[in-house]
Amino acid sequence: MAFLIDGGATVIALKGNSKKIIIAMVYGFLAAVSVNLFLIPAKTYSSGVTGIAQLLTSLVSYMGGSLSVAMLVFILNVPLLILAWFKINHQYAIFSIVAVFTSVLFLKVIPVPVHPIVTERFAGALFGGALIGLGVGLCFKAGFSTGGTDVIVTLVGRLTGKRVGVVNNIINGMIILAAGIFFGWGAALYSIVEIFVSSLLMDYIYIQQQKVTVTIFTKRPEELKKRMRDFIHGATELDGTGLYTNQETTVIMTVVSKYDLTELKRVVKDADPNAFVNIQSTMNLWGKFENVE
């Protein structure tokens, strides 16, 4: 199966990526179960776009109106997914779209129970946070996001080299503050629990912020350098000679986050399928670290 974009100019093949599609759909199901069965009954707010949608729905309901969390998640995600399509890459955007639309679908069909499944708000926050954290972590590990504010923090991380956790913390802090002001500080407290558990489990499955040093040995440097320039991250070129073959080899070094490894692997394979790549964990960075060219 393939998507033909811009009249045949861009083709994104999804054949062979059925695992990613399944993971995206699993996330959508887990997110919807978390929100409808645990967080809404516990009057607890999630992080990111889902949390914003919950807050707006609660505010409209408080004023006598009616809004659907599913509808708001859809509306808020549309511009962000468009941004992902044009500013990150098409494949990243497509899997994120699958994740978002699946979550919207399940948010619509899974009913909010009249009587909470768990009577303790703390337990609801724990279960809700664990389910969302599991789903998001699986998506990040597979090399794509769940849409929403993940798109914003990914762009900030790629373009500035700064820890995206700072941006995420600001967004989540605003959600918690709003929950406390409008719905009581109990709601804020349990939302903190949900966000903490979600982040903890997500990081356990996939640590997005960890930097790694990638060393690429290639005999097709010009093609690789051309493609690396579109990768956004900066890199350094070194000249080398193979001791065994005595042939000239170009060495390209770059420092990226674990989140970017999937895309970098694709770039290297497209440019030189025979390249040798060594990936090492980077414990610390100091000096003038430039993450973009």
CATH of the domain at 230: 3.30.70.120
In a domain, 292, yes or no: no
Strand (E) or helix (H) holding 287: none
DSSP state of 37: I
Q: Give the pLDDT score at 283.
A: 67
Cβ partners under 8 Å of residue 287, min gap 6: none
Residue at token pair 């399940």? 106
Whole-model pTM: value is 0.70
Q: Are residues 159 and 134 in the same domain?
A: yes
Q: How far is CA 202 from the centre of its chain?
A: 10
Q: Which of 153, 187, 205 is the last residue of a domain?
A: 205
Q: Which of 135, 152, 149 is nearest to 48 (CA)?
A: 149
In a domain, 224, yes or no: yes
d(CA 73, CA 251): 45
In a domain, 287, yes or no: no
Residue at token pair 């979550």? 103
In a domain, 286, yes or no: no
Radius of gyration of the chain (CA): 21
In a domain, 289, yes or no: no
d(CA 171, CA 47): 8
Q: Are residues 113 and 258 in the same domain?
A: no
d(CA 148, CA 258): 20
DSSP state of 247: -
Q: Are residues 189 and 241 in the same domain?
A: no
Look up the domain containing 90 and give its range: 2-205
Q: Give the pLDDT score at 77.
A: 93
Residue at token pair 């042939």? 247
Residue at token pair 């708001």? 72
Q: Are residues 117 and 260 in the same domain?
A: no
Q: Are residues 258 and 166 in the same domain?
A: no
Q: Are residues 195 and 215 in the same domain?
A: no
In a domain, 63, yes or no: yes
Q: Which of 205, 224, 248 is the last residue of a domain?
A: 205
Q: How far is CA 241 from the centre of its chain?
A: 39
DSSP state of 213: E
Count of alpha carbons within 13 Å of 203, Cβ hemisphere only? 9
Q: Give the pLDDT score at 20.
A: 87
Q: What is the mean pLDDT of each run of 10 residues along the chain (293 residues)?
A: 40 63 94 96 93 94 88 94 85 89 96 90 94 90 81 73 67 92 93 92 70 87 80 75 76 81 83 88 66 45
Q: Are residues 15 and 29 in the same domain?
A: yes
- Do residues 164 and 157 lie in contact, with contact meaning Cβ atoms separated by under 8 Å? yes
In a domain, 247, yes or no: yes
Q: Are residues 243 and 225 in the same domain?
A: yes
Q: Are residues 121 and 70 in the same domain?
A: yes
Q: Are residues 16 and 86 in the same domain?
A: yes
Helices (H), 206-282: 221-229, 261-271
Q: Are residues 31 and 157 in the same domain?
A: yes
Q: Which of 181, 205, 229 is the last residue of a domain?
A: 205
Q: Give the pLDDT score at 28.
A: 95
Three-state secondary structure of 103-150: HHHHHHHCCCCCCCCCCCHHHHHHHHHHHHHHHHHHHHHHCCCCCCHH
Structural domain total, the chain: 2
In a domain, 219, yes or no: yes
d(CA 177, CA 188): 7
Q: What share of the chain is helix, strand, coil (3-state, %, to 5)?
A: 60, 15, 25
Residue at token pair 């982040």? 199
Q: Are residues 250 and 267 in the same domain?
A: yes
